[in-house]
A and B are shown apart, each in its own frame.
Chain A
Amino acid sequence: MERIRNILKKCLAFILGKSKSILVTIKPSLIAICMGLIAGIIMMLIFNPSETLSGLRNLLIGVIYRNNQLNLRGILTTLHHSTTIILTGIAVVFAFRTGLFNIGASGQMMMGAYVTVHVGVLWSLPAPFHWIVGIFLGVVAGTIYGLIPGILKAMRNVNEVVTSIMLNWIAASLLVYLVNRNVLNPFTQGGSQNIQPTAIIPRLFSNYQLTIGFLIAIAMGILAHFLLYRTTLGFQLRASGFNVDGSKYAGMNTKRNIILSMGISGAFAGLAGALLFSNYGKTLSTEVHVFMEGFEGISVALLGLGEPIGAIIAGIFLSYIKQGGFYMQPAFRPEISDMIIGVIIYFTAISLALQLALKKYSGKIKTFIKRKHLTTREEDEQ
């Protein structure tokens, strides 16, 4: 028993990259997930009590197992949809680990998406190069867009949260302008044209949506982890993130660090947009709106405990719950899974407070028991 536990611990430690008390670390996330599911069950009982059991089954395992067979499509689609939020999650995590709050992942993602679509629609290149170039330039666009708040923060000490939120809306409008101007679909006028077949990122299995983009996202998570914790650059970036004055004292160029960090974060977000829009049948809308995936990245980062590897796991998990909601149809609205995710994120955010409260409570219980113990002892003595 002890041995199994040790092996399990080691596996988890390997995944999360820390050697001690991994279970304690992920406990808040687990509590939050339980809370989210309980809230989901309550909602389901309210809306459609007779279907609650089957709905719950679909929510929890519908992605894996449906109609008495393995649901391979569900699994692969889940992984496919997780690609984007894993990457925006990594973008938020990376900035967060270096003391910055990149709330502008959406905007960086939009710029990456546009450039990829632009290249995919208008350029003509042979197959492997076309999508590679499209995605690469998308990453470049995201990087540049991420650098803007970084430079403003480093040079003029403008809060990156404010600038990156504003840049999200600038990106949203700019995107519509550029789509209308360059890649508008003349037949529908409601969005961009389809990218050329050469610009479509290869799928892993021809009949399933999952592309090699997912593998790239996983690789990026590992790369981000590596960059942060194993390289001199990561050392400096994290030092600046924890303590700007201390890093400055240590001779680090804190301004350069801020700019670099936002640029790298923007690159991850740009990659998210580039990969998403190099999929078959994915077009940019001409309606001005900010991509939600950037904000979902914040949720992923939170649930993933601010670690790149955690972002991979959290991204897949949230995508799993979302896809589970999809498979609850038509008995339940897929919005139930959105709500469950909302509750999970909410509880992740307050779980620290929750834990403290539990601790306090358990302390009271202990003293109560102790006092009781004492009084009974006194009674015995009498």
Chain B
Amino acid sequence: MKKFWLFLVLFVATFTLVACGDDDPLDEDPTNFKIAMVTDVGDIDDKSFNQGTWEGIEAYGDANDKEYAYFRPSSVSTADYIETIDLAIAEGYRIIVTPGFLFEEAIHDVQFRHPGVYFILIDGAPHSGDFTPDIASNTLSIFFNEHESGWLAGYAAVMDGYESLGYLGGMAVPAVVRFGVGFVAGAYYAAYELELDTFDFETRNYAYLGGFSPSDEHKNTALAMYNRGVEVIHAAAGGAGNSVMLAAEELDDKWVIGVDIDQRDESTRVITSALKGLGIAVQTALDDIYEQEFEGGRSLTLGASEDAVGIPTGTNAFDRMNTFDIDDYDRIYNMLGGKVLNVPKTPQELVRYIDALGYSVTTGLEAKAQGS
């Protein structure tokens, strides 16, 4: 017994001795600014949104010899996001990148308290809780035209010969709604170009899973969709997309369109992905900061005109397609980028768009896309 207490005392003493030392001092030279990413609930390996952002930071940091790191809050609440950002700043990080609208209120708080720190908020604009954007000059908020990306993916799928399409979003948050709206619109536009007499995107093949994490339940939802004839599903659902891929792998001739980043390595069934140029956008913003050309106080919306959305075009990018190739893609992409084509952004616009193309809208599609 006595030995145990002796051991305990020694144990504690060792740790107390260890507890001495100093922290790094703050670096004021702009070229030495360190980059910190703060994640929300998800982690940086979510194969999707966070990962896209993180990979952008990583690539930039390695190429330009900048220090970078990421931080995770200790719990999910605005107060904890603020504490995490404060911690990163206290650790000497002067550029804070936060992906996701969950950070809107937190950034609103910190942007004014830390005027010497740069904030890049992706998919959101800071506000004080009333959803009226209030962006300080040291903050840049970046949005994407996800509907254009979805549109291109939907177009590619139908042009490639698929007729029965499905859409599975994670939750009906604005970015995910836009992916879906664009996807359906692109599919109808392809049908219109192919002069198909009828084309239906069935309402029941459009759904939100209710989450961004993989689960058997999501896989079953996808299986059910495939089993009623759907050939390809656009899964805009982060990690939950992997459940859709698993479902496709269990069946013959069923395919998936990925989201955010090129997901072809996740599964052989991924024919293409609806990209969101997270990495490019972050890198551009970082470059501006280091070049001292940063223009804050505004929100930026990036789309086809800025080359920030689309589907992958690298080597082998089209090898899982039947006929659709880079030339077909370039033609339509230029039309989109040159604003020759208009892409609907909201479910309401989608309905009018389909109508204008001369197809009948399946009942309930608008409400379904809205998420209600």
Contacts and interface: CB of A to CB of B under 8 A. Distances in A.
A–B in direct contact per CB < 8 Å = yes
Interface of A: 23-24, 27, 30, 34, 37, 53-54, 56-57, 60-61, 65-68, 73, 77, 81, 176, 187-190, 194, 209, 279-283, 285-289, 322-323, 325-327, 329-330, 333-334
B357 interface: no
Given A189-B173, A330-B91, A57 B21 contact: yes
Given A287-B212, A322-B74, 19 more contacts: A30-B8, A56-B19, A65-B19, A67-B23, A188-B173, A189-B172, A189-B173, A189-B174, A190-B102, A190-B171, A281-B78, A281-B105, A281-B106, A282-B79, A287-B210, A329-B71, A329-B72, A330-B69, A330-B70
Contacts of A56: 15, 18-19
A194 B87 CA distance: 25
Contacts of A281: 77-79, 81, 105-106
Contact of B211 (A34, A37, A288): A288
Contacts of A68: 22-23
Interface in B5-33: 5, 8, 11, 15, 18-23
B355 to A, nearest CB: 25
A53 B21 contact: yes
Nearest to A52: B18
B74 A330 contact: no
Select the residue from A66, A68, A190, A209 with max chain B CB neighbours within 10 A: A190
21 contacts: A34-B11, A54-B21, A60-B15, A67-B23, A77-B83, A81-B75, A187-B131, A187-B174, A189-B171, A189-B173, A209-B80, A282-B77, A283-B77, A287-B211, A288-B211, A289-B211, A325-B74, A327-B87, A330-B69, A330-B71, A330-B91
Number of chain B interface residues as a range:
35 or more
A333 B44 CA distance: 11
Interface of B: 1, 4-5, 8, 11, 15, 18-23, 36, 41, 69-81, 83-84, 86-88, 90-91, 101-102, 105-106, 129, 131, 171-174, 177, 210-213, 371
A34 B91 CA distance: 29
A77 B171 CA distance: 31
B74 A323 contact: yes
A287 B40 CA distance: 14
Nearest to B177: A189
B50 to A, nearest CB: 14
A187 B173 CA distance: 8
A27 B4 contact: yes
B71 A188 contact: no
Contacts of A189: 171-174, 177, 371
A57 B72 contact: no
Contacts of A322: 74
B174 A188 contact: yes
Contact of B78 (A37, A60, A280, A285): A280
B210 A288 contact: yes
A228 to B, nearest CB: 29
Nearest to A34: B11
Contacts of A334: 72, 74
Contacts of A24: 1
B104 to A, nearest CB: 9
Select the residue from A34, A54, A333 with max chain B CB neighbours within 10 A: A54
A142 to B, nearest CB: 20
Select the residue from B18, B75, B77, B171 with max chain A CB neighbours within 10 A: B75
B171 A287 contact: yes
B305 to A, nearest CB: 26
A77 B77 CA distance: 12
A66 B86 CA distance: 13
A187 to B, nearest CB: 5
Contact of A57 (B18, B71, B131, B213): B18
A-B CB proximity, top 8 nearest: A281-B78, A330-B69, A287-B211, A190-B173, A326-B74, A189-B172, A282-B77, A187-B131
Contacts of A326: 72-74, 84, 87
B23 A66 contact: yes
Contacts of A27: 4
A27 B8 CA distance: 10
Nearest to A65: B19
Select the residue from A322, A329, A333 with max chain B CB neighbours within 10 A: A329
Select the residue from A81, A281, A326 with max chain B CB neighbours within 10 A: A281
A122 B19 CA distance: 49
Contacts of A54: 21
Contact of B20 (A57, A287, A325, A333): A57
A65 B91 CA distance: 14
Given A189-B173, A329-B87, A286 B101 contact: no
A344 B34 CA distance: 35
A190 B101 contact: yes
Contacts of A209: 79-80, 83
Contacts of B86: 73
Nearest to A197: B129
A57 B174 CA distance: 42
Nearest to A77: B83
Contacts of B210: 176, 286-288
Contacts of B73: 326
Contacts of B129: 194
B294 to A, nearest CB: 23
Contacts of A283: 77
Contact of B19 (A57, A188, A279, A287): A57
B230 to A, nearest CB: 23
Contacts of A282: 76-79
